[in-house]
Structure 1
Amino acid sequence: MTVYVAEIFGSGIAAFDAASAHEARAHLTDEGFQRDLIVMQSKGRPLWDGVAEIHVRIATPEESVIWQTGLATATQSTDFPGDRTRHVFLVPVVDPSLERSVDDDDDDDRD
């Protein structure tokens, strides 16, 4: 397997493995992968707007190391989906759907 990178606006966003360039291009159309790109945010902005073209290229050696390290960490999780194509984000990401709303007022909510 070769490690590929999904690139948006010239920036490497996510690395994943695929058996061929054709399979790597097909991964870009995966609904789950696209949903992750739309939902996940970096620096307060979605990784993908749902419209911009996503390019695929072979990962650099540094990106391959990031992918291998991220994959090793993920496989240690008990809920790791081993039957899916795995991608590792190359940029810091936040899933805003998992963030709790913060109640930052000073009252104790006993109204």
Structure 2
Amino acid sequence: MFTFEIGGKAIAVTDASEDEAKRLLDGEEFRSDLARLESEDGPLWDGVAALTVRPATQAEIDEFNQVEDETEEFEDDDLEDEEDEEGESSVIVFLVPIVDSEEDDEN
């Protein structure tokens, strides 16, 4: 498993391979999502801070597994599926609470 960091802060964990995690992080769609989503402290990504991928720590893996187990019964905002080039999906679990500003605008 691999962790996505923004400016050195861990924000999400994925079960994707290292190559796939790097491809996701370099992808326009994922970067757009990171710029759109907000945490309690404001936007996740300002479009400038460094985006990196690193191996996940055991604590991050444990949190991923806990969220994945909880979401088997219901859908959770902290869990996203991303399809790779072959159509297989990898799961991304956010480690910070997220708020989708577009959803808030619709209410």
Q: Which range, TM-score by smaller chain?
A: 0.7 to 0.9
Give the 3 Å change call, closer, same or farther, for CA 91–84 of structure 1 in structure 2. Answer: same
Which structure has the greater CA radius of gyration? 1
CA distance, structure 2, for counterparts of residue 11 and residue 85 of structure 1:
21
Secondary structure of 1:51's match? coil
Q: More strand per residue: 1 or 2?
A: 2
1:84 is aligned to 2:89: yes
Q: Could you state the TM-score of these two structures normalised by the residue count of structure 2? A: 0.74
Identity of aligned residues (%): 35
Equivalent residue runs for 1:54-93 within 5 Å: 54-77=51-74, 83-93=88-98
Q: Which runs of no fewer than 5 residues in structure 1 stay unpaired?
A: 103-111
| Counterpart code for 2:10 | G
2:7 match: 9
1:48 is aligned to 2:45: yes
CA distance, structure 1, for counterparts of residue 29 and residue 92 of structure 2:
11
2:21 equivalent among 2, 18, 24: 24
How far the C-alpha of 1:24 sits from its partner, in A, is 1.9
| Counterpart code for 2:97 | P
Q: Which runs of no fewer than 5 residues in structure 2 stay unpaired?
A: none
Q: More helix per residue: 1 or 2?
A: 2
